[in-house]
Amino acid sequence: MPRPNGADQRILLSMPAHARGMIVMLPGGAGDIGIEHDKTLRHGDNFVVRTRALWNARGYGVLIPDALGSDNMRGRRSSPGYARVITDLVALAHRQGTGPVFLLGTSQGSIAAMNAAAHAAPGSVAGVVLTESVSVMGGSHETVFDADPSGVRVPALVVANSDDACKVAPPANAARIAGAMKQSPAAQVIVVSGGVTRSDNPCGSLTPHGYYGIEDKVVGAIVRWMDAQPG
């Protein structure tokens, strides 16, 4: 998918037989999932990437963008330019079917989801889901609070794992994130617990921060919320 600045962006699209909705999923970390020409992935551990079959099984199509030009997306997700990138992806998701389109970001990707929701055209997005969101300043020099949360005018869900040990995504900040979306018609918090640690990095994907080992429980809770939205 060509971008206005000339950078190339590859898109991973995973669809069920009959999609009743679409989710634009925004991965964390550097945002580089490494989509190859043969559709294999170099980096498939991120929560939103490795769970795509679970969303499909529940009737939702998943659209996951790779990093722009394979660059590191840290520090760029709260920019107006990146909001426009996600707006184009939302339009692409709408072209895949007639159901509602949701935004879902995890960790650093929650910054992009917040930014896109704040700048979404009326009626284009049915809701935004923020999971294990970066809310404390770290190496990327941006948090969800830099992504215009007061501009979000769609239903919002903040998911926090009480066992998340990532210092830049403390679960205790979930209510503060929801409260910052002052114009959302309904901003809800869901707290989960559990997970398995298979990484030395507490902010890694294969830890409670990435819902490793509790994926089905978390996906189920989010889908129940999405199914309840009017969009």
82-94 per-position pLDDT tens digit: 899 899 999 999 9
pLDDT at residue 37 is higher than 60: yes
4 confidence band (pLDDT: 50, 70, 90): very low
User: Whole-number mean pLDDT of the chain?
Assistant: 90
Q: Are 178 and 150 in contact (CB under 8 A)?
A: no
Q: So what's the pLDDT on residue 70?
A: 54
150-172 per-position pLDDT tens digit: 999 999 999 999 999 999 999 99
Q: What is the 3-state secondary structure (H, E, C) of 35-101?
A: ECCCCCECCCCCHHHHCHHHHHHCCEEEEEECCHHHCCCCCCCCCHHHHHHHHHHHHHHHCCCCCCE
Distance between CA 23 and CA 71 in Å, rounded?
A: 23
Give the count of alpha carbons within 13 A of 202, CB side only: 9
1 confidence band (pLDDT: 50, 70, 90): very low
Nearest to 166 by CA among 210, 202, 139, 130: 202
Q: What average pLDDT does this structure show over 62-78?
A: 76
Cβ count within 10 A of residue 152 = 29
Q: What is the pTM of this model?
A: 0.93
Q: What average pLDDT does this structure show over 7-30?
A: 87
Block residue for tokens 């679960």: 171
Give the count of alpha carbons within 13 A of 48, CB side only: 32
